[in-house]
Amino acid sequence: MRNDWWRGAVIYQIYPRSFMDSNGDGIGDLPGITSRLGHVAALGADAIWISPFFRSPMKDFGYDVADYRDVDPIFGTLADFDALLAEAHRLGLKIIIDQVLSHTSDQHAWFKESRASRDNPKADWYVWADAKPDGTPPTNWLSVFGGSAWQWDSRRRQYYLHSFLTEQPDLNFHCPAVQDALLGEVRFWCERGVDGFRFDACNHQFHDARLRDNPPAALADIAGVSTVRAENPYAMQRHLYDKSQPENLAFLERLRALLDEHGAVALGEVGDENAPPVMAQYTEAGRRLHMAYSFALLTSEHSATHLRGQVQALEDALDATGGWGCWAVSNHDVPRVATRWSAGRAADAARDRLWLALLLSLRGSASLYQGEELGLPEAEVPFELLQDPYGRAFWPEFKGRDGARTPMPWQTDGVHGGFSTGAPWLPMYGAHLPLAVDRQSADARSMLAYSRALIQWRRGQPPLRTGAMRFHDAPEPVLHFERSEGGAVLHAVFNLSAEPQVLQLPAPLATVGGHPCEGGVAGADGRTIQLAPYGVFFGRPEGH
């Protein structure tokens, strides 16, 4: 593959706890992933992103790392990872692993030493601060998971910062030794042969050294952009000082230099209410991360106007830096797109196909979350079986992230859907069983068959992989843009509604065939496009 294989790549995200269990303990593991790599290869993905599998007390299911260099026993061993990596490479798949550098578990040896006293060698490896004179926290910063971002520690008689759970203390990136240590952890996996990294919460890696309070947020600052629920006070602040600090740019340049030594790539998660300029800075060509993604398309808003606004905002920002984006419409942190963008309507195969076609047509790389290729809806998990601490804290208004994390259905009639011989850590959702891989593999009209065909067709369309992008005006609920690469131009038109639509064009387009998308056809003169409900149309100008 090209050195810039990541540009326009399809990256398949695996949540290891829920992908495939090989030993019957109900928790997915690395050997389980290895046994199912053929599914990902057949899908046509270029790479796999594996969510954290490192040693962890699992307070946040692996995003609280206690040892960056070891596999947690529930997932297997380092030898199991090496076997997974070798098999993926044999199948032509790249491996991207999830690295959580902004914080660790409170069980990490670094934090245990840091909290022991104010004068030990790692005393300043985490963000410690004295209380205000009245004993309250040093700033008004809030945790993403609710409540203050500061936790009192009786040993040091100071507060420590945690942007997420109290068990996830933030590392102090203002300390040079911390940066050096983290680069060492990344180097360990580079030398083991991984092809890239997804850096979790990478804009949380620095805080304001002056510890200034965040100002309140106006509704316009967060409407339609933040994935934080309205019942969470985190959305009530403008997060000017607890994340997205300018000092992070220099660290990302050090990180890029290390990755370039090993030919590894970087995908950064940017959780910011004004993500496009941050993403553009973080992916400045050749200097920092290779690509970044935000939560812009992971909200419930999905009108043509909103989608165009979010995509164009990133396009405008990236134009200034030569950076590169990565789009996702589902992941392990948000409800599945099949439900989230259904607007309360019943399941609709045409709608599921449209969202995938849209994702794979945007400029940037595409992150496809496990189960999207099957059209899985959000699972319903009762409170007594809920595992996610975020959901338990905000139940019942917000039911957490477990509905997107239930086990992958492999066999319609298999025990626990073929995921495990033992009781799964989250229940197998009954509505997922008819959508299992085995049944869809035998159905040429299934969502899985469509996903395979669409990814394969896209692979042969340079404009869709790496081409420039330009929007055309179209009335709601129609989205129309073109992609161009060299002399090749490809128009993409989407009807985002359940009603038929007709689009009038200023210049004629000819229908492009060879793809599995349905519901869009050009009229005899090429100036009118008939769109069925959730119809998709690909066309080329005359002469192209």
Predicted confidence (pLDDT) per residue in 423-453, tens digit: 999 999 999 999 999 999 999 999 999 999 9
Sequence-separated (6 or more) residues with CB below 8 Å from residue 267? 6, 11, 49, 96, 196, 197, 198, 199, 289, 290, 291, 292, 293, 326, 365, 367
Q: What share of the chain is helix, strand, coil (3-state, %, to 5)?
A: 30, 20, 50
Q: Is residue 21 part of a domain?
A: no
Sequence-separated (6 or more) residues with CB below 8 Å from residue 428? 406, 407, 409, 416, 417, 419
Q: Tell me what pLDDT residue 222 has.
A: 52
- Determine contact, residues 46/94, Cβ cutoff 8 Å: yes
Q: Is residue 151 part of a domain?
A: yes
Q: Which residues of the chain have pLDDT under 50?
A: 1, 223-226
Q: Is residue 356 part of a domain?
A: no
Q: Is residue 148 part of a domain?
A: yes
pTM more than 0.95: yes
Q: Give the Cα-Cα-Cα angle 398, 403, 405 (nearest 5 degrees).
A: 130
Residue 137 structural domain:
105-170
Q: Is residue 126 part of a domain?
A: yes
| Catalytic positions | 200, 261
3-class DSSP assignment, residue 79? helix
Q: Is residue 3 part of a domain?
A: no
Total domains, the chain: 1
| Residue 136: CATH number of its domain | 3.90.400.10
List the end-to-end C-alpha distance of the chain, in Å, as a whole number: 27
Q: Tell me what pLDDT residue 224 has.
A: 44
Q: Tell me what pLDDT residue 37 has.
A: 98
- Determine contact, residues 228/234, Cβ cutoff 8 Å: yes
Q: How far is CA 290 from CA 2, 315, 362, in A?
A: 14, 15, 17
Q: Is residue 162 part of a domain?
A: yes
One-character DSSP codes across 431-487? GGGGG-HHHHHT-TTSHHHHHHHHHHHHHT-HHHHH-EEEEE---TTEEEEEEEETT
Q: Is residue 140 part of a domain?
A: yes
Residue 499: how many other CB atoms lie within 10 Å = 10
CA gyration radius, the chain: 23
Rounded to whole angstroms, the Cα distance separating 58 from 307 reads 35
